[in-house]
Amino acid sequence: MNERDLLQAGFRYALSLGPAPGEADDLVQEAWLRLHRARGRVRDKALLFRAIRNLFIDNYRRGRLVVFEPLDGVAETADDAVLLDDRVTVDDLKAPLESLRSEEREALFLKAVEGYTAQEIADLTGRPRGTVLSLIHRAKRKLREALTSETGDTPLSNRGG
Amino acid sequence: MRELDSLIKAHYRRERLPEDRVDAILERAKPSRASERAWYLRVAALAAVLVAGFVFTHVRITEADLTTRVLAEIAMNHNKRLAVEVAAVDYDELQAAMDRLDFPIQPPAELRADYELIGGRYCSIQGKLAAQVKLRARDTGRMLTLYATGLTPDLAKISRQETVHDDVRIEMWSEGGVFFGLADGT
């Protein structure tokens, strides 16, 4: 992956952490420059993601309130495929995604977009694998409910995978 | 029917940093020729220090002499007030960035709790590659410097102590195979 693609991947990951595009831009730039100062160049996507994540967490430590919700009881697999009506478009996804909690959106992004396994996400985020599975499951459930109510359809299909 | 994961992937794939922004970030990350020359000079200076220190450590010295020399070295480095080379907010990040070190930088838990990490730079103690770590007290903002290096047989002879040398209060101790020196002074 070349540097430009790495930056774009880092930008999309930063977006998954917080909803404001301006914040994501700043995060990826600062992480990139820090890694360059420390290592001379950036080649490793996981290292870039970890640097972005650490910066994001550090911004929250500086005075912002972080509220934790209790997770659902049982962690299911992360491979449950959620099928949606054909009328649901990519544009319909924006608002429901922004309404997710940061950790839900992050886990879902790493699974659905980057193709990480639950264990890889657990290693990157420092969370237990079961917590990662619960976050993904809850995020998908919230999106399904939001998109179902938008289209007004009967409940969507949900098959295990 | 459409799969949710595919829609999520399509949503994020549409998000892109503008190309001129990418250009600007890559340009900022490029080292200037002056900074490249400065880097080579720093590496050369570090190599010279290590060679000189290697020769020095083969001279037999008493424990008292060794303690005095280490105190003097820590006080001198502290009073130079050199800027950090690596800015970091946690010790994992610092350890990853200072990858020439062959020992863990983690100080005792009470130090981590009371002091905020600012960053670090390479230095040497008695000819051995060391880390100089800048810390800031969370309650007062006072700056301290922590020196850490792998424990050698000579450094292991230095007993835990706190003293003042060249107006710098220095505490020295060994823990977990690492020699630490904590410097606090005006």
Q: Do A25 and B17 touch (CB under 8 A)?
A: yes
Within 8 A of A51 by CB-CB distance, chain B residues are 93
**What is the pLDDT at residue A49?**
93
pLDDT value at residue B185: 72
The percentage of chain B sitting over the pLDDT mark of 90, rounded to a whole number, equals 22
pLDDT for B51: 75
pLDDT of residue A79: 58
Instruction: Give CA–CA dist B5/A144, Å, rounded.
Output: 11
CB proximity B38 to A under 8 Å: no
* A19 pLDDT above the threshold of 60: no
Q: State yes or no: pLDDT of A69 exceeds 60.
A: no
pLDDT average, residue stretch A23-27: 87
The pairing of beta strand B161-165 with beta strand B168-175: antiparallel
When comparing pLDDT for B172 and A22, which is higher?
Answer: B172
**Which whole number is the average pLDDT over B105-127?**
86
Query: Which pLDDT band holds residue B63 (cuts at 50, 70, 90)?
Result: low
pLDDT band at B170 (very low <50, low <70, confident <90, very high): very high
Residue of B nearest to A88 (CA): B2
Distances (CA, A) of A20 to A24, A31, A72, A98, B123: 7, 17, 27, 9, 41
E-strand ranges in chain A read 81-84, 158-159
Cα(A159)–Cα(A79) distance, integer angstroms = 9
Computed over every residue of chain B, the mean pLDDT equals: 83
Q: Give residues with Cβ within 8 angstroms of A95, minimum separation 6.
A: A146
Nearest chain B CA: its distance from A66 CA (Å): 19
The pLDDT of residue A77 is 54
Answer left, alpha or beta for residue B119, where phi above 0 means left and psi between -120 and 50 means alpha: left
From the number of C-beta atoms within 10 Å of its C-beta (0-12, 13-18, 19+), residue A152 rates as: exposed
User: If you measure CA to CA, which chain A residue comes closest to B35?
Assistant: A37
Task: Report residue A44 as tokens.
Answer: 């490793």
- Give the DSSP H/E element, type plus range, for residue B171: strand B168-175
ipTM score assigned to the predicted complex: 0.81
- CB–CB of A90 and B15 under 8 A? no
Q: Is the pLDDT of residue A2 over 60?
A: yes
For residue range A119-144, what is the model confidence (pLDDT) as tens digits? 999 999 888 999 999 999 999 999 99
Residue A107, pLDDT score: 95
Min Cα distance B10 → chain A (Å) is 7
Distance CA A24, CA A12 (A): 8
User: B26-43: per-residue pLDDT in tens?
Assistant: 888 876 555 555 666 777
Query: Is there a contact between A90 and B17 if contact means CB atoms under 8 Å apart?
Result: no
Question: Using 50, 70 and 90 to split pLDDT, how confident is the model at A108?
Answer: very high
- Region B85-104: what's the mean pLDDT? 86
* Residue at token pair 């420390």: A38
Residue from B17, B112, B116 to probe the interface with A (highest A Cβ count within 10 Å)? B17
Per the CB < 8 A criterion, the answer to whether B171 and B161 are in contact is yes
Residue with tokens 């649901």: A88
- Please state, in angstroms and rounded to a whole number, the distance separating the CA atoms of residues B158 and B180: 11
Residue in A8, A28, A144 closest to B4 by CB? A144
Task: Give the sign of the dihedral formed by CA B13, CA A24, CA B94, CA B87.
Answer: positive
For helices A3-17 and A102-112, what crossing angle results, to 10°? 140
- A93-97 mean pLDDT: 90
Tally the residues of chain B: 186
Q: What are phi and psi of B74, to 5 degrees?
A: -65, -45
Which range is least confidently modeled, A29-33, A115-119, B89-93? B89-93
Q: Is B46 on the interface with A (CB under 8 A)?
A: no
Six token digits for residue B119:
């960053």
Query: Rounded to whole angstroms, how far apart are CA atoms A19 and A145?
Result: 20
